[in-house]
Amino acid sequence: MSGNVVIGQSGGPTAVINQSLVGVAETLRGQKGIGRIWGACNAVRGMIEDRFVDLTDIPQDVLDRIANTPSAGLGSSRDKPDADYCAKIFEVLKKKDVQYFFYIGGNDSSDTCRIINELANESGYELRCFHVPKTIDNDLMHNDHTPGFASAAKFVAQAFMGDNLDNRALAGVKINVVMGRHAGFLTAASVMGRRNEEDGPHLVYVPEVAFDEDKFLGKVDATYKKYGRCLIAVSEGIHDEDNVPMAIRLAAEQGHHVERDAHGNIQLSGTGALGDFLSQLVKSKLKISRVRADTFGYMQRSFVGCTSPVDAAEARAVGAAAARHALSGDVDGSLAIQRVNDQPYEVAYKRVELGDVAGKTRTMDVSHIVDGCDIADSFRDYLRPLVGELPVIETFS
Amino acid sequence: MSGNVVIGQSGGPTAVINQSLVGVAETLRGQKGIGRIWGACNAVRGMIEDRFVDLTDIPQDVLDRIANTPSAGLGSSRDKPDADYCAKIFEVLKKKDVQYFFYIGGNDSSDTCRIINELANESGYELRCFHVPKTIDNDLMHNDHTPGFASAAKFVAQAFMGDNLDNRALAGVKINVVMGRHAGFLTAASVMGRRNEEDGPHLVYVPEVAFDEDKFLGKVDATYKKYGRCLIAVSEGIHDEDNVPMAIRLAAEQGHHVERDAHGNIQLSGTGALGDFLSQLVKSKLKISRVRADTFGYMQRSFVGCTSPVDAAEARAVGAAAARHALSGDVDGSLAIQRVNDQPYEVAYKRVELGDVAGKTRTMDVSHIVDGCDIADSFRDYLRPLVGELPVIETFS
């Protein structure tokens, strides 16, 4: 088979998504049967609008700098293509003689990739179709972890290390809201810089456990009495016992419209509402005067200068692995990162079926969650090799 | 003169405030006439409660690690001592035979230092009293810049570099709220990573200029039409033409109590309210669907792993300079960082009178502000040597 290549970057950007783009492109360049290599601007959106960047001849040093730059260099999209949308995509792909399609993204994006692949099969259009994993949420099935997660986790860990020191210096209750719709992995990363029991975060709330206001207030009260302060990590996706996200309840109370994307996901980030609500709750119910809330927001996924080297290398390698699979024969699929060994840390990049990953969500094993409000050492052991060395800090004993 | 030493750290922590603490302590250790060197826990609060850390014999390698750790290692306080409070302080100082007092802090802290110095003079208590500058707000009189500012500025610059890339990938209006009560220096640092006209932040709002909602909406609309996106930096301290901070207006509208500290400052940080208000404003008035707001919050001053090397070195040096002045004779005062030369960049540490700094606020020269909503190249030239090299990024043209 010979033909041209299209690579797209979809969903929320990460600090290393360009590594995967470059990993695919540099592995394919110059290979037999590979023609032009195009990057689709804004993912499927650029594919229907015939907007592409030609990557075939970009000098390697430029590609290397792009690889080291956070966020999706090609631009992204949250569109979910329906039949009409896909028909337009195939029209463009045919016109451009594209036989290889790589889509870098999370579980919604892998579902988009699956739909395009199925429609290609149905319409008899020959297309090697690969999903390359990417998500700071770390919530893809069959993956030990996903590219983008470790860098975001490093950011969250270093932010909490600093905020713990800040909270020691000027005591009070501090709530930090971390990204994470259904999976608490990123929020759990907040504990990575803890050196002892006194270090915060003292309480960690993830979406894997239903959030109970009374229990929460009880824990905050007890922690504040014990340490004279309390640092709290909360996932933006926490929900009540009936599985209603706090974000929906708050929007209803405040008379705001709840935004949803094409995949049906509620808009959670880009507002301080959840943090402010929890802060007011603690202030009013516990009569603690100094209560503050911060929402980490988009910095977690795009901050320049806080990338995990392991994450960057794996994101590049998983793109290269997808390219090699596509060159190897008539296969489609998604690449999964699987941990082969713990010490020394070693991973393998395994092909799995698109349907095994698409639209499914992996959540954190409950064995990592302690008492509904803390994170076990088992999770720290899991995360340590991904995040790498954190800065050394020292305090007066 | 001979006696013991007390050093305190006051007000909001910074990434390099421990450098100044160590700079004072290591310069005094072993000097003639210097007895014990104590760190006051939680600033003046620890002084009245007789809570101190003995720094005299802490090994240098431990001090070095503490110096490199963000936030105030001794703990801080926002107390403003009145006559009774000061009487208690002197009681403790006399009991401990303290003759040297160093207070690391911003303009409120330098005023506290001035009050203590005056009361020492009035009561005939011999006390060499030095204020050591520190504030991420960069708002101390007679200083070219203040320790802590450059590291916070580096964080803000890198956050905006990343968020600009994120906003390129998934277009929309994005508002980021940056710390800064009266001075816009830190918010202005958001432009440091811009490479060309298309790069954001496209609009920058600082407290030096009154904020006008209609003008703001007009600029957002025009920018969005021009680039298909708009990234905005806003100081938390923006206020209307009558000098009423937006934060007060919002609290009144939402029926919240406005918190004030002992110095009369309104609580601005630790809430997403201003960002959320501006986001709703744009959404409702301009009918743009994707509008998001983040508030950088306490991360700006305490994030671990984003310190400016120049800032760290100067914070250490200004502490050492204060110690040398105190050893040199019967003087009191504040140390000011003054720029001696631009290329090569060079500073001097000059003693100024406490009264010249105490309680006064320096704001950004209006010549740095363009059209009320952007920052001039002159400010970038001023800030460049302080922040140092920013990470290299690359995008498809």
CA B204/CA B206 separation, integer angstroms: 7
The candidate with the shortest Cα–Cα distance to B94, out of B122, B124, B118, is B124
Strand A333-341 relative to strand A291-295, pairing: unpaired
**Would you state the pLDDT for residue A256?**
74
Dist CA B261 CA B259 (whole Å):
7
Q: Which of A98, A130, A80, A104 is nearest to A17 (CA)?
A: A104
Q: Which residues contact A142 (CB under 8 A, 6 or more apart)?
A: A334, A336, A338, A350, A352, A356, A357
The CATH number covering residue B169 comes to 3.40.50.460
Question: Which chain B residue is nearest to residue A274, measuring alpha carbons?
Answer: B272
In a domain, A261, yes or no: yes
Shared domain for B289 and B174, answered yes or no, is yes
What residues in B contact A271, CB-CB < 8 Å?
Answer: 272, 275-276, 279, 292-293
Of residues B257 and A394, the one with the higher pLDDT is A394
Proportion of chain A above pLDDT 90, given as a percent: 82
Nearest neighbour of B166 by CB, restricted to A193, A302, A306: A302
Same domain, B292 and B155: yes
What is the Cα–Cα distance from B19 to B69, expressed in whole angstroms? 8
In chain A, at which residue ranges do the beta strands (DSSP E only) sit? 3-9, 34-40, 52-54, 98-105, 128-133, 173-178, 203-205, 230-235, 291-295, 333-341, 346-352, 369-370, 374-375
Contact A301 B166 (CB under 8 A): yes
Q: Are residues B92 and B47 in the same domain?
A: yes
Contacts of B166 in chain A (CB under 8 A): 13, 70-71, 298, 301-302
**Phi, psi angle pair for A334, to nearest 5°:** -120, 150
Q: Pick the catalytic residue: A79, A108, A111, A137?
A: A137
A228 and A338 assigned to the same domain: no
A11 lies in the same domain as A51? yes
Per-residue pLDDT at B269? 79
Average pLDDT over residues A168-178: 97
Same domain membership, residue B134 and residue B46: yes
CA A232 to chain centre: 21
Tell me, yes or no, whether B229 and B276 share the same domain: yes
Report pLDDT digits (tens) over B258-273: 788 877 888 887 788 8
Residue B206 belongs to a domain: yes
DSSP letter for B97, please. Answer: T
Q: How far apart are CA B49 and CA A4, in angstroms?
A: 75
Residues of B in contact with A255 (CB under 8 A): none
A245 upstream amide cis, omega within 30 of 0: no
Contact between A304 and B279 using a beta-carbon 8 Å cutoff: no
User: A18: nearest CA in chain B?
Assistant: B395
Which residue in chain A has the smallest CA separation from B13? A166
Smallest CA–CA distance, residue A332 to chain B, in Å, is 27
Flag whether A252 is in a domain. yes
**B123 in a structural domain:** yes
Return the axis-axis angle of helices A60-67 and A17-28, rounded to nearest 10°: 150
Mutual angle of helices B377-387 and B309-328, in 10-degree steps: 80
Nearest CA in chain B to A175: B270
Q: Which residue of A has its CA nearest to B16?
A: A162
The reply to whether B126 and B55 lie within a common domain is yes
| Lookup result for tokens 């309480």 | A203
Contacts of B395 in chain A (CB under 8 A): 66, 69, 73
Q: Are the Cβ atoms of B169 and A71 closer than 8 angstroms?
A: yes
Asked if residue B336 lies in contact with residue B358, where contact means CB atoms within 8 angstroms, the answer is no
Q: Note whether A66 contacts B396, CB cutoff 8 Å.
A: yes
Cβ proximity of B362 and B183 under 8 Å: yes
Cβ–Cβ below 8 Å for A294 and B292 = no
CB atoms within 10 A of CB A202: 27
CB B51 within 8 A of CB B168: no
Any alpha helices (H) in B96-148, and if so which ranges? Answer: 107-122
The order of strands in the sheet holding A34-40 is A52-54, A34-40, A3-9, A98-105, A128-133, A333-341, A346-352
- Residue B87 pLDDT: 85
C-beta neighbour count of A197 within 10 angstroms: 8
Partner residue opposite B298 with nearest CB, options A13, A73, A163: A163
Q: How far is B271 from chain A (nearest CA, A)?
A: 6
CA distance A262 to chain B (A): 13
A257: pLDDT strictly greater than 80: no
Instruction: Identify the band that residue A82 occupies on the pLDDT scale cut at 50, 70 and 90.
Output: confident
Residue A258 within a domain = yes
For A13, the closest of B13, B169, B394 (CB atoms) is: B169
CA B285 to chain centre: 34
* C-alpha A281, offset from chain centre: 29
Q: Among B37, B267, B278, B299, which would you mutate to test the A interface (most chain A Cβ atoms within 10 Å of its Cβ)?
A: B299
Say whether B137 is catalytic. Answer: yes
Residue B34: both structure tokens together? 């210097």
Q: Which residues of chain B does A68 touch, with a Cβ-Cβ cutoff of 8 Å?
A: 391-394
Give the one of B158, B271, B302 whose C-beta lies nearest to A303's C-beta. B158
Q: Are residues B376 and B325 in the same domain?
A: no
Tell if the CB–CB gap between A275 and B272 is shorter than 8 Å.
yes
| Cα–Cα distance list, B127 to A17, A313, B101, B106, B367 (Å) | 59, 58, 7, 20, 41
pLDDT at A213: 96
Unique residue bearing structure tokens 């009409």:
A84
Bridge partners, B347 (sequence order): B339
Distances (CA, A) of A332 to A105, A128, A320, A353, B304: 16, 6, 15, 7, 42
Identity of residue A114: R
Q: Is B104 helix (H, G, I), strand (E, B) or coil?
A: strand
Can you state the angle between helices B377-387 and B149-169, rounded to 10 degrees? 120
Residue A165 is nearest to which of B62, B293, B302, comparing CB atoms? B302
CA dist B102 and A37 (Å) reads 64
Q: Do the domain assignments include residue A395?
A: no
* Contact (Cβ atoms closer than 8 angstroms) between residue A128 and residue A318: no
Q: Which residues does residue B101 pair with via DSSP β-bridges, in sequence order? A: B6, B129
B187, B224 contact by CB (below 8 A): no
pLDDT of residue B359: 85
Look at residue A392 and tell me if it is in a domain. no
CB neighbours of A23 closer than 8 A, spacing ≥ 6?
A67, A315, A316, A317, A318, A319, A320, A322, A323
pLDDT digit string, tens, across residues A273-304: 999 999 999 999 998 989 999 999 999 999 99
Domain presence at residue B395: no
Percent of chain A residues topping a pLDDT of 70: 100
Q: What share of chain B is helix, strand, coil (3-state, %, to 5)?
A: 40, 20, 40
End-to-end CA distance of chain B: 67
Report the residue from A294, A297, A304 with minimal CB separation from B298: A294
Cβ distance B171 to B390 under 8 Å?
Answer: no
* Total number of domains constituting chain B: 2
Same domain, yes or no: B168 and B181: yes
**Given the residues B79, B108, B111, B137, the one annotated as active site:** B137
Q: How far is B382 from B380, CA to CA, in rounded Å?
A: 5
Q: How far apart are CA B181 and CA B378, in angstroms?
A: 22
Determine the structural domain holding residue A185 and report its residue range: 153-303+365-387
Same-domain status, A16 and A105: yes
Identify the band that residue A268 occupies on the pLDDT scale cut at 50, 70 and 90: confident
Give the number of C-alpha atoms closer than 13 A to the C-alpha of residue A107, restricted to the C-beta side: 22
For residue B253, what pLDDT is reported? 81
pTM of the model: 0.97
Which chain A residues are closer than 8 Å to B299 by Cβ? 159, 162-163, 294, 296, 299
What would the two tokens of residue A244 be? Answer: 């209603």
- Report how far residue B323's alpha carbon sits from residue B55's, in angstroms, rounded to the nearest whole number: 15
Residues of B in contact with A279 (CB under 8 A): 270-271
Average pLDDT over residues A143-169: 98
**pLDDT under 50: residue ranges of chain B:** none
Measured in degrees and rounded to the nearest 5, phi and psi for residue A143 equal -105, 135
**Element holding B314 (H helix, E strand):** helix B309-328
What gap in Å lies between CA A48 and CA A45, rounded to an integer?
Answer: 6
- B199 lies in the same domain as B68: no
Is A299's CB within 8 Å of B303's CB?
Answer: no
Which residues of chain A make contact with B392, given a CB cutoff of 8 A? 65, 68
For residue A384, with 0-12 CB atoms within 10 Å meaning exposed, 13-18 middle and 19 or more buried, which class applies?
Answer: middle
> Using CB atoms, which residue from B13, B165, B269 is nearest to A70?
B165
